[in-house]
Amino acid sequence: MIEKIRKIIVLGGGSAGWMTAAALGKVLKNQYCQIQVIESEQIGTVGVGEATIPQIMLYNDLIGLDENDFMRRTQATFKLGIQFVDWQKPGSSYFHAFGDVGKNMEGLQFYHYWLKMRALGKAAPLDEYTLSSLACLEYRFMRSMDAGNSPLSNIAYAFHFDAGLFAKYLRELAEQWGVQRTEGEVVEVQQLDNGFIRSLRLADGTEHEADFFIDCSGFRGLLIEQTLKTGYEDWSHWLPCDRAIAVPSASISEPWPFTRATAQRAGWQWRIPLQHRVGNGHVYCSRFMSEDEATSILLKNLDGEALAEPRPIRFVTGKRKQFWNKNCLAVGLAGGFMEPLESTSLHLVQATISKLFSFFPDRNFAQSDIDEFNRQMHFDYDKIRDFLILHYHATERNDSEFWNYCRTMPVPDELTQKIQQFKANGRIFRFNNEMFSDLSWFEVMLGQGIEPQAYHPMADLFPEAELAKRLEGIRSVIRKSVDYMPSHQSFIDQNCKAGKIY
């Protein structure tokens, strides 16, 4: 006998809260159960400029988002990848670009052929075989078009947007779909005898009951941690940065279609171009750098004038020991925090929402479903964690205590194995459900300076001259395709230009 969920409360109204509420509102249409968001304007959200990865399209499809409208409303720009500057060593730079790298041949990944020809001194830089990288370098963008086998038929992209405007936009949609919003600060959480959450009492004295609570209260995890004492797995020994300073700055040029992550002495700095401004932040490790110094570095490296006071953010990298505990599900920062180096925060929100629909409970809250949900979430977090650690650990930088620590720290066994395997033979071993593809691993490992000693021997099946001809053919197709693409700015102007704010 199903005991239907009658009401869901989403606590917190940042990106995670409104993404969850909008998805629930769209899918359940307020007919299946009542959905209420409780948020307080007194409590700020982390809401800095947010960057995403192409999987965001799944979420957009789920809620039926009009992409151009969404871009206008959130001052968004397009994103084709991330440029990592100074990570391998000062002066180095590489792209972790979305989409294909070259073209696979005879069932073998392109990069093996490229490794072979590079060893012979007969290959151009990888970016010249990668549509997204080349488009980034030339500030070009377009959406996929129907062009047969051309790389223009398959352009993978994501977005940069203003997280505050994004939350506001989703709030409007969610409210249209029947989600009820309540302004207020939670002062007490009532639990049942079995520890399940019964209700939330707000500062105005009102009490709000629900069957299922979604904790989007951010780092503090008001329900999942402060109430249910779920526990937190601290990863700061692997991902030691624990502070960020964020500040918006004026745009002084056309927006780039990529995020830039520049390594600094004790962390790194992000630069996220939006239509109306640039989002900047400096993620750093407080063991190795003071807040004043971090702020000074950030401000010194802004392209344009700062548009607000720098805002400090504190965090501990890690994850909850359970994302779903009793009748409470933690989404977003309440569930865990991995720094925004690979723009995975909103992806993890979306992955949690997607799994929630697959494991949507009734009031019995079957523990086996919750266990499987948690297992899948741990898998996602752990695999992403390893990918992030790779950026810090695989470096030649020895110019500061921070980098010396990162370079020499012990890392998870699975990551060690992946690195060793890549070094030995250029192969990448992964399971079906890992989020980052072998191409992502390849681009980052190579970009961080891990040089494979070999490539797949199948690459030797092509005679050298034939392979050189094929690589040149691919490079030429990529070049022509990028030439066909309009500039990022003109694509925005023609399709989704936002109104001026600043």
Partner 1 sequence: MQQPVVLIGNGLWLQMATAIVAKHLHPFGYKCIALELAATIKEDPAVACGPELATLCQMLDLPLQLVLTRAKGTFSLGSRYQSGEKNWFVPFGHYGLNGSAAEFEQAIVQLLKQDPNSKAELFSIAAQAALQGKFALAPANRPDLAEALSYGLHLHTAEFAACLKQFNQQLGVTFVRSQTVQMSYNSQGQVSDLQLDQGAAIPVGYCLDCRAEPTAKEASRTVQLFSAQDTTELVQQPFSTVVQTSWGWLLRIPLQHASYWFSQSTDPTLDLSHIRQELQQLTGLSDWQQSTRQQPTESEPWQHNHLRLGQAAATLDCPLYNGLSALQYLVIRWLDLLPNQNSCPATALMYNQHWQQYQSEVQDFLLLHQHPLATKTGRAFARLGRVLSTETDAIKAGQWFGLMQGLGLKAELPSMLLANRTETEIHQGLRQVQQQIARLVATMPSQADTLNRCLQQLSH
Among 181, 378, 427, 479, binds partner 1 (CB under 8 A): 427
Q: Number of residues interacting with partner 1: please give it, by CB under 8 A.
A: 35
Q: Is 408 in the site for partner 1 (CB under 8 A)?
A: no
Q: Is 457 in the site for partner 1 (CB under 8 A)?
A: yes
Alpha-carbon dihedral 467, 473, 477, 479, rounded to 10 degrees: 90
* Phi, psi angles (nearest 5°) of residue 193: -60, -35
Q: Is 149 in the site for partner 1 (CB under 8 A)?
A: no
Q: Give the Cα separation of 273 and 250 in Å (integer).
A: 10
List the structure tokens of 56.
């965001």
Is 423 known to be catalytic?
Answer: no
Residue placing its CB nearer to partner 1 in the complex, 357 or 484 = 357
Q: Which residues contact 149 (CB under 8 A, 6 or more apart)?
A: none
Q: Give the Cα separation of 5 and 327 in Å (integer).
A: 11
Distances from the Cα of 322 to the Cαs of 146, 211, 352, 358, in angstroms? 44, 19, 12, 17
Q: Give the Cα separation of 196 and 9 in Å (integer).
A: 14
Q: Is 32 in the site for partner 1 (CB under 8 A)?
A: yes
Among 185, 291, 293, 372, binds partner 1 (CB under 8 A): 372
Q: Give the Cα separation of 437 and 452 in Å (integer).
A: 18
| Piece of 318-326, 328-336, 343-351, 352-360 that binds partner 1 (CB under 8 A) | 352-360
Q: CB 434 → partner 1: shortest distance, Å?
A: 9
Residue placing its CB nearer to partner 1 in the complex, 408 or 433 = 433
Residues counted in the chain: 502
User: Is 235 within 8 Å of 317 (Cβ atoms)?
Assistant: yes
Q: Is 34 in the site for partner 1 (CB under 8 A)?
A: no
Q: Is 431 in the site for partner 1 (CB under 8 A)?
A: yes
CA nearest 502: which of 263, 252, 268, 291? 252
Among 40, 262, 295, 421, binds partner 1 (CB under 8 A): 421
| Piece of 45-53, 363-371, 402-410, 443-451 that binds partner 1 (CB under 8 A) | 363-371
Among 153, 154, 176, 420, binds partner 1 (CB under 8 A): 420
Q: Is 28 in the site for partner 1 (CB under 8 A)?
A: yes
Q: Which of 4, 29, 79, 300 is catalytic?
A: 79
DSSP-derived pairing of the beta strands 328-330 and 278-284: unpaired
User: Is 219 within 8 Å of 337 (Cβ atoms)?
Assistant: yes
Q: CB 496 → partner 1: shortest distance, Å?
A: 26
Please give the residue ranges that form the binding site for partner 1 (CB under 8 A).
2, 27-29, 31-32, 357-362, 366, 368-369, 371-372, 376, 416-418, 420-421, 424-425, 427, 429, 431-433, 453-454, 457, 460-461
Active site residues: 79
